[in-house]
Amino acid sequence: MKAFFSLSTTAIQSMNESFEQWLMDRCTNGKFTEPERAAEAIQEEHLLPLHVCYGFAGKIARRSFSWQVMGKKVSAYLW
């Protein structure tokens, strides 16, 4: 979250892109097993809604959305 509210430098943009790609892979890519996903789960408070939705669905997201907010890439998922 700190990077999200920081000025958009090359390093911050790279961190943002890397995190969003990691999140997209874990939420939508069927190549990961459920134990692999659980082992890599980030327990940040701001991701709790994502954990609840994923846990309730019990499967990977069937659709994802991406856009820009304050110059940073963000994403949302539909289960």
- Please count the structural domains in the chain: 1
The whole-angstrom separation of Cα 66 and Cα 62 is: 14
pTM, to two decimals:
0.84
Structure tokens at 73: 């890439």
**Predicted pLDDT at 41:** 83
Assigned domain for 4 exists: no
What does the buried/exposed string (b/e) look like for 28-38 if buried means 16 or more CB atoms within 10 Å of the residue's CB? eeeebeeeeee
- Domain of 52, in residue numbers: 10-78
Assigned domain for 39 exists: yes
Query: How do residues 36-73 score in pLDDT, each as one tens digit?
Result: 988 888 888 888 999 899 989 989 999 999 999 988 99
Q: Which residue has the tokens 């090359």?
A: 10
Assigned domain for 3 exists: no
Q: What confidence category does residue 5 fall into, taking pLDDT thresholds of 50, 70 and 90?
A: confident
